[in-house]
Structure formats: structure tokens, C-alpha cells
Amino acid sequence: MLVFFKERLAFLSVPKTGTTAYEVALAARADMVISEPPMLKHAPVYRYNRFLRPMFKNVCDAEMELMAVMREPVSWLSSWYRYRRRPFMKDKPNNTYNVSFDDFVLAYMKGDRPGFADVGSQLNFMKTQPNGTGITHHFRYENQARLQDFLQDRLDVALSLTQENVSPRMDISLSPDVAHRFRRKFADEFALYDSIE
């Protein structure tokens, strides 16, 4: 998570959406950088609302606008699947070495997900809270130009990005039947993604 206090902007770090590259590029420009531990680096709206928002509100009388990046839902799961196939994951319980991508997505669709498929939800990450705290600025991972233009204009910086924390490249695809079931079960997730420019 990156906080730019003067600009009243907090960049929430949705996992597997390329935010580590922005963290590296903007760390020196940010007023607050939360890069560890992962549960704070990747604090969703509800955690920001509970712990960080009161700090800014009560101490500084300031409200931050929140921004977040969302990845196309199948692509997002594909990135998680590939990430859990990195060589050092081979002996870890959450690896996906012996799991097909179809089986990974089917496991993700279960109410009680096995560990290898328990990767959260972009929709839940960005869910607006009862007090109205929510994402002010949504961006698609697939539209990096819009995201970069926004940050360069808002922060008055020139961005120079490097690739960070990249999942291994693999040729994988989802079968039409599983893709249909996934889209039907997670219609709200796709609706949010489709609403973003």
C-alpha cells in the first residue's frame, strides 16, 4: 500500500495486479509505504477502513481517496495458479504442481476452498463499507496506460516501471464448461470488472 498524504490518495495493493512494480517506482515519492507484512501490504478496503482510515481522520482530520487495480477474473486466477507453481513452491502445501487449471478454478468455486485455491476475492477486497469507505478510482490491470496517466497527473511524476514479482509464463486455458460455470457463479466479480474503463 502506498499513501500520498498531500494528494489525499491511498493506493491499495490488490494481490496479483502488478502493484509491486508501482510500489518500487513510487516508494520514494510516497509518504507511507507498507510493504510488509503481506496482510498489511495487501490490506483490503475493510482493513483500511478499520485501522488506517481512523488514524488519518482522527489525527489529521483527513480523508483519503482510495484507488485499486482489478484484473480480469480468469486472468487473475491464472496468475495465482502460475505463481503457486514457482520452483520454490514445489514442496509447499499450497503448490499447484499436481493440479490442472480447471481443477484449480473448480476448487476456487467451492465454499470451503482447499489451501492451494484459497486466494481471496478482488470483489471482496474492494467492497464498499457501510460507512461509505470504498474505492474512489478503479483501474483495469489490462489498461496500464490509463493507470499510469492518472498517477503521473495526480502525483506530478514521471513513472519508470520495472517488472516485479512476475508469475511464471505458462500456456494455460480454462475449458469452456468451467469458464461458463465460473462466470455464472462470480457474476458480480465480472460485473465490477466490466464497469471499469
Round to whole Å and give the CA distance between 4 and 22: 13
Helix, coil or strand: residue 170:
coil
Whether the CB-CB separation of 21 and 164 falls below 8 Å is answered with yes
Q: For strand 32-33 and strand 137-140, is the pairing parallel, antiparallel, or unpaired?
A: unpaired
pLDDT digits (tens, 9 = 90+) for 156-184: 999 999 888 777 788 899 999 999 999 99
By mean pLDDT, which of 43-47, 89-93, 106-110 is the weakest? 89-93
The set of cell numbers assigned to 95 is 503448490
pLDDT at 168: 79
Q: Which of 77, 118, 122 is nearest to 94 (CA)?
A: 118
State the helix-helix crossing angle for 176-185 and 101-108, rounded to 10 degrees: 20
Q: For strand 65-70 and strand 137-140, is the pairing parallel, antiparallel, or unpaired?
A: parallel
Round to whole Å and give the CA distance between 133 and 146: 23
The CATH code of the domain at 2-195 is 3.40.50
Round to whole Å and give the CA distance between 60 and 80: 37
pLDDT digits (tens, 9 = 90+) for 134-147: 999 999 999 999 99
Whether the CB-CB separation of 179 and 36 falls below 8 Å is answered with no
Whether the CB-CB separation of 148 and 159 falls below 8 Å is answered with yes
pTM of the model: 0.95
